[in-house]
Amino acid sequence: MDYSRFFSDDVPSFMRSPVREIFRKVDLSAIFSFAGGYPSAETFPLDGMGALAEAVVRKYGAKSMQYGATQGVPELRELIARRNGVSIENVQITTSSQQGIDVCTRILANPGDVVEVTAPTYLGALQSFRAYRAEAVTEEGLAGRKPKFFYVIPDFGNPSGETMTLEERKDLVERARREDFLIVEDSPYRELRYEGEDVPTIYSLAPERTLHLGSFSKVFAPGFRLGWILGPQELLEQIYICKQALDLCPPVFDQYMAAEFLGSGELDRNLLKTRELYRGRRDIMLGLLEKYMPEGVTWTHPEGGLFLFVTLPEGVDTVKMYDTALSEGVAYVAGSFFFADGSHCNTMRLNFSYIDMDRMEPGVKLLSDVIRRSL
Ligand SMILES: Cc1ncc(COP(=O)(O)O)c(C=O)c1O
């Protein structure tokens, strides 16, 4: 039966994630994968998980399995508020930061509205903007139109790996105030810094017009699907109402697990190990690119996060090259997927957190060979 006549007008705008399509088709353990944004399983606190779950049951009992408040359980909101130096009223727990992006778009954007993005930007955000029929454009594409909000990943961007300087953040805030638009600051990698100094969040520079999205995915475990939004109470109120229709409340047991993990100091202890592990992988990755990549190939040098972004000579098409790479056993994500206009076909995103240390060298060597042959 053809069901298309039943679908809403939004459905044709939905966009598949090419990254998730890769995972559908490929057994990641059978290839050298630099494709996904997966954390290393080594960073999951598996050994302490049983004890953590027992502590949650002992402390919260049946409450840990009951429906909870739509804003999130107060214990977790309070801990996040304290960690970020804000009041609990400025914290909304989300069922991950992907939901944070979606819910912000849902309360802010009408079909046809303009959302300003950087180039490149996070593919999952482009999917949300498309789903609400908002138009994602870069500053050059605005053509005099005013954005409803600016979506930005200022810390170790996905896919670029790059970080906005304080000056750039101040300039953005100044422009947002002058031109009167909001800022959605998506920062799931903020705590994964391997060198250099923290740069103040955009939220701290403009709390009155910023929604800041955080996530437990890269510092605890993505399977728990937990994140948070910091923002002005009036905006969070709309998000709260909207979330009632979405999921009633974020997963309660998971929130108590996160509260115990964070409140006991275990999260910070685990973060030290996680940063150490990823710093090592980033350094190895940078060294291997230097050793194997053909001349004319350049890449970013991220101070943190999970990705670096590679630019190949003009004329190479990484979408076309992908099937060859995969058939030879190596995966990446073509960079053009991260550009709202599908440009920059000669780029790719490489993840360095997921692949085992001893598989990095053969993987980069293989990828370099595929690239060399396509030049
Ligand atoms: C920039 C950015 N935002 C949001 C997400 C979604 O993360 P989660 O929904 O697991 O919190 C990701 C995931 O990779 C990301 O890179």
Mean pLDDT of 346-359: 95
The overall average pLDDT reported for the chain is: 95
Label each residue of the chain as H, E or C: CCCHHHCCCCHHHCCCCHHHHHHHHCCHHHCEECCCCCCCHHHCCHHHHHHHHHHHHHHHHHHHHCCCCCCCCHHHHHHHHHHHCCCHHHEEEECCHHHHHHHHHHHHCCCCCEEEECCCCCHHHHHHHHHCCCEEECHHHCCCCCCCEEEECCCCCCCCCCCCCHHHHHHHHHHHHHHCCEEEEECCCCCCECCCCCCCCHHHHCCCCEEEEEECCCCCCHHHCCEEEECCHHHHHHHHHHHHHHHCCCCHHHHHHHHHHHHCCHHHHHHHHHHHHHHHHHHHHHHHHHHHCCCCCEECCCCECCEEEEECCCCCCHHHHHHHHHHHCEECEEHHHHCCCCCCCCEEEEECCCCCHHHHHHHHHHHHHHHHHHC
pLDDT confidence tier of residue 16, bands split at 50, 70 and 90: confident
**Candidate of 97, 103, 308, 309 to mutate for ligand 1, largest count of ligand atoms within 8 Å of Cβ:** 97
pLDDT in tens, 300-352: 999 999 999 999 999 999 999 999 999 999 999 999 999 988 899 999 999 99
Indicate whether residue 224 lines ligand 1 (CB < 6 A).
no
pLDDT, position 105: 98
pLDDT in tens, 131-185: 999 999 999 999 999 999 999 999 999 999 999 999 999 999 999 999 999 999 9
Determine which of 195-199, 245-249, 338-342, 351-355 has the lowest per-residue pLDDT on average. Answer: 338-342
Indicate whether residue 118 lines ligand 1 (CB < 6 A).
no
Mean pLDDT of 240-246: 96
Question: In this model, does residue 28 exceed pLDDT 80?
Answer: no
pLDDT, position 288: 98
pLDDT, position 319: 93
Question: In this model, does residue 360 exceed pLDDT 80?
Answer: yes
pLDDT, position 172: 98
pLDDT, position 30: 84
pLDDT, position 17: 79
Query: How do 330-331 and 32-33 pair as beta strands?
Result: parallel
Ligand 1, atom 14: nearest CA belongs to which residue? 37
Indicate whether residue 217 lines ligand 1 (CB < 6 A).
yes
Question: In this model, does residue 20 exceed pLDDT 80?
Answer: no
Centroid of ligand 1 to alpha carbon of 98 (angstroms): 6
Indicate whether residue 154 lines ligand 1 (CB < 6 A).
no
Indicate whether residue 251 lines ligand 1 (CB < 6 A).
no
pLDDT confidence tier of residue 29, bands split at 50, 70 and 90: confident
> Which domains are assigned to the chain?
4-44+268-374 (3.90.1150.10), 62-264 (3.40.640.10)
Indicate whether residue 185 lines ligand 1 (CB < 6 A).
no
pLDDT, position 27: 79
Centroid of ligand 1 to alpha carbon of 188 (angstroms): 6
Atom of ligand 1 nearest to the CA of 98: 9
Centroid of ligand 1 to alpha carbon of 122 (angstroms): 8
Determine which of 4-8, 101-105, 195-199, 229-233 has the lowest per-residue pLDDT on average. Answer: 4-8
Say how far apart CA 202 and CA 183 lie, in whole Å: 8
Q: How is residue 30 written in tokens?
A: 């059978």
Indicate whether residue 227 lines ligand 1 (CB < 6 A).
yes
Determine which of 219-233, 281-295, 326-340 has the lowest per-residue pLDDT on average. Answer: 326-340
